[in-house]
Chains A and B, each alone.
Chain A
Amino acid sequence: MRELRKRALPALMVVMLVMTMTACDNTVKKAAERLSEIADTLGEVQSVTIDAYDGALISQEAHDQILRATLRANEAGKAATAVLAGLEESGIKDLDLDTKQKLLKYSVVISDSLDPENLSAIANIQDPDVRNKIKTALATARAILVTLDALLAF
């Protein structure tokens, strides 16, 4: 048993180190993937909104409110991307606590911007197809955000 203990500790440390390195690498990459997906859905919300306004399907108020919300969300997403890019440029490959906290703050801004309660104009859109398209895309962006938050929690 003494021999077992003597040899088990370094072996265990090696296994844990490999697992940690792999997990950290995946976390940065996955965070970048999530941000890219959020950018896609925000772009979709904007396109649907602009098309609907051009086709006189939604009011100026709804158009402006939704686009201002996506503008805030996009700016927070861009800032979050810049934080990750800064890490890469510095040669730091792991997400430390400070970085995670910064990213979570941007995540809160994105989530609040896309919160249906803060977008009252959507409820007033008469066309059900347009209303559902915008609501679905916003919900998708927020769902992706939940997976990003889960990554940052560890």
Chain B
Amino acid sequence: MKTEQILALINLVSKYGPRIIGLVLKIKDDRGDEQTIDLLEEAGAKFDANIAQAKAALGEQ
């Protein structure tokens, strides 16, 4: 690859990079957090249910 081509490629990344970051942040705000919170709530509920089941089987409160 020639120096001019490399420079052109770098120019493109420099120009559109901030826009890509903005897009990634938007995707994170719109989807990532909600999905992660749902996953955590689901995992927490499963652990709670398991704890209750184990305690009941062991005759504990």
> Shortest Cβ distance from A70 into chain B, in angstroms?
6
Contact A40 B46, CB 8 Å, known A8-B10, A11-B13, A11-B14: yes
Contact residue among B13, B17, B40 (Cβ-Cβ distance under 8 Å from A88):
B40
Q: How many residues of B contact A (CB 8 A)?
A: 36
A123 within 8 A of B: no
Please report whether the interface of chain A is mostly helix, strand, loop or mixed according to DSSP. Answer: helix
Tell whether, in the assembled complex, residue B13 and residue A33 are in contact, meaning their CB atoms are under 8 Å apart. Answer: no
User: C-beta contact mask, A61-98 vs B, less than 8 Å → 1, else 0?
Assistant: 00110011011001101100110110010000100000
Which residues in window 2-56 of B have CB below 8 A to A? 3, 6-7, 10-11, 13-14, 17-18, 20-21, 24-25, 28, 32-33, 35-37, 39-44, 46-51, 53-55
Top 8 A-B residue pairs of the complex, sorted by shortest distance between their CB atoms: A14-B17, A39-B46, A32-B39, A78-B47, A36-B43, A11-B13, A71-B54, A35-B43
